[in-house]
């Protein structure tokens, strides 16, 4: 069994779904179910005995220790994080508590569990920490893309909290010998993305006839990675990554935000044209840039290709088409997220089922 933290969020849920589509190895899924944790994301697994869900916080040391002792996972994959830059600007404390304090407590619980294992499982055990390219800071247009040896220069409360968590993971390896792996990914997009992030927000607002907000001039550049490619990279790193190493995971798709906006609008014009025949681009509205907005991120993913043989399988063109189509095909999911009804889904789905120790567990 593997333990996945944050497995009801966007990337975590996609990872759990993909893992169980390709493997019969069970997943213990720990998620706090904050606003972005949506158990409805995992509805295909509601009756799957290979998936055990526990609602809880990675910062709850007693809970985590109990789960580790009960389920004896061979690996822990940490997706749990507060991740929205705008929210971190308005309320940084939640990011410090989850991304820094929570990661430290998780590392402590995992270290105690790992040290008590017999030699063979202790040697095979891995802790994989999922991080972001935002920890590296911002690039000038002429700068080379981030590699694993770039120093960390975070510029937002979110990226600072993730950089701190990366440092903690590194320290627990070098100080205590915990066998860790770290991945730093570029901007993910795809199904199940909470519609506060750029691409799902564009789709949802466009269909609702609302403005499509673009920060500043829209020329901020990001590297875009289809979420299922990210999941395949994490599986590959878990399988064969060298203990203590960092692996940058990117899509080789540097694009300015305004190009993303126009691409989404053009796809919607094709796939869901407006009744009045007007183009969705007429809804684009430029708004004041956010404080400290990084101008450019770019990931050099050469190391993971060279050492582990991984490359993304989706182009941006194929991935963004799949993403837009998914949102068009899943209006109920979107409606539940917008209304907050997804929070009620767990009570409806699991009403009357027992909750085994040590926490509220939904098989």
Catalytic entry in 40, 60, 82, 134: 134
Report which of 71, 65, 74, 64 is spatially closest to residue 30, judged by C-alpha positions: 64
Residues 6+ apart with CB under 8 A from 88: 82, 95, 156, 157, 158, 161
241 secondary structure, DSSP code: P
Which residue among the candidates 57, 133, 223, 294 is catalytic per the annotation?
Answer: 133
All residues at 6 or more sequence positions from 305 whose CB lies less than 8 Å from its CB, including other chains: 311
**Alpha-carbon distance values, 137 to 133, 157, 169, 259, 296 (Å):** 8, 12, 19, 22, 9
How many residues are there in the chain?
363
- 158 assigned to active site: yes
User: Residues 30, 64: contact at Cβ < 8 Å?
Assistant: yes
Q: Catalytic residue among 40, 82, 113, 158, which?
A: 158
Instruction: Give the residue numbers annotated as catalytic, written as ranges.
Output: 133-134, 158
């Amino acid at each position: 069994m593997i333990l996945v933290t944050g497995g009801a969020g966007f990337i975590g849920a996609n990872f759990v779904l993909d893992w169980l589509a390709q493997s019969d190895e069970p997943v213990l899924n720990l998620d706090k179910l904050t606003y972005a944790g949506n158990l409805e994301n995992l509805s295909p697994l509601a009756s799957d005995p290979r998936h055990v869900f526990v609602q809880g916080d990675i910062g709850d040391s007693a809970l985590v220790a109990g789960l580790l002792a009960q389920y004896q996972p061979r690996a822990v994959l940490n997706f749990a994080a507060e991740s929205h830059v705008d929210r971190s600007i308005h309320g940084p404390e939640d990011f410090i508590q989850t991304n820094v304090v929570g990661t430290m407590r998780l590392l402590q619980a995992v270290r105690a569990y790992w040290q008590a294992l017999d030699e063979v499982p202790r040697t095979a055990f891995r802790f994989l920490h999922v991080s972001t390219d935002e920890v590296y800071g911002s690039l000038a247009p002429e700068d080379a893309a981030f590699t694993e040896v770039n120093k960390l220069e975070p510029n937002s409360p979110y990226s600072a909290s993730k950089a701190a968590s990366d440092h903690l993971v590194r320290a627990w390896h070098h100080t205590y010998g915990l066998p860790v792996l770290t991945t730093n990914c570029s901007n993910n997009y795809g199904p199940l993305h909470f519609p506060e992030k750029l691409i799902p927000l564009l789709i949802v607002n466009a269909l609702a006839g609302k403005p499509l907000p673009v920060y500043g001039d829209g020329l901020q550049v990001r590297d875009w990675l289809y979420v299922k490619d990210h999941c395949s990279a994490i599986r590959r790193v878990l399988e064969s990554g060298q203990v203590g190493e960092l692996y940058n995971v990117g899509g080789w798709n540097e694009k300015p935000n305004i190009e993303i906006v126009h691409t989404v609008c053009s796809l919607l014009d094709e796939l869901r044209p407006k009744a009045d025949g007007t183009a969705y681009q007429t809804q684009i509205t430029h708004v004041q840039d956010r404080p400290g907005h990084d101008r450019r991120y770019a990931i050099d993913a050469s190391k993971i290709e060279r050492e582990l043989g991984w490359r993304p399988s989706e182009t941006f063109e194929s991935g963004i088409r799949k993403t837009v189509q998914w949102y068009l095909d899943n209006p109920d999911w979107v409606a539940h997220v917008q209304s907050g009804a997804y929070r009620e889904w767990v009570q409806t789905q699991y009403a009357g089922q027992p909750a085994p120790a040590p926490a509220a567990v939904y098989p």
